[in-house]
Amino acid sequence: MRDPNVSLIVAVSENNVIGNQGGMPWHLSADLKRFRQLTTGHHIVLGRRTFDSIGRLLPERTTIIVTRNRNFHFPGAVVVSSLAIALSAAAGDDQPFVIGGAEIYQAALEHLQTMYLTRVHAEVAGDTFLPEIEWALWTLVESERFGADRKNDFDYSFELYRRSGT
């Protein structure tokens, strides 16, 4: 069952890497600004390991952490045991964002309406990968490419996808 308002946001390299050793394997200032602009005022849904890599609540967002650890708590966050419960907790939001990691992305694929990708135009070492996406189900509606500079390690593109037929 797809929820009409659920969005995914991720930065991904040419070889499908989204993380390395609990962090991002690049620094893209523009991607961080875009992430903040898009997610501010919304619910963000993430796994506990992704939350640990961030290490704090992000301001002006409602943080929903999905974890199997029933003893995990973090003041100010909503902690749930499944993606389904997380999406229910975000039901009042007109656009909740799934922000990672790989397991949460995989579980969310069937619920998504929109994907915001930052394509990092490089192959990088990593240990966490974006799950396989059935691209035939998606339409690229916006794409803008940018060059590397002193604040952005690599060339990158901002891409917006919508589920086809919706």
Q: What is the largest CA-CA distance in the chain?
A: 45
Tell me phi and psi for residue 87, to 5 degrees. -65, -35
pLDDT tens over the chain, length 166 residues:
444 589 999 999 999 999 999 999 999 999 999 999 999 999 999 999 999 999 999 999 999 999 999 999 999 999 999 999 999 999 999 999 999 999 999 999 999 999 999 999 999 999 999 999 999 999 999 999 999 999 999 999 999 999 997 6
CB 20 within 8 A of CB 125: yes
C-alpha angle 117/37/50, rounded to 5°? 60
The answer to whether the beta carbons of residues 2 and 113 sit under 8 Å apart is yes
What's this model's pTM, rounded to 2 decimal places? 0.94
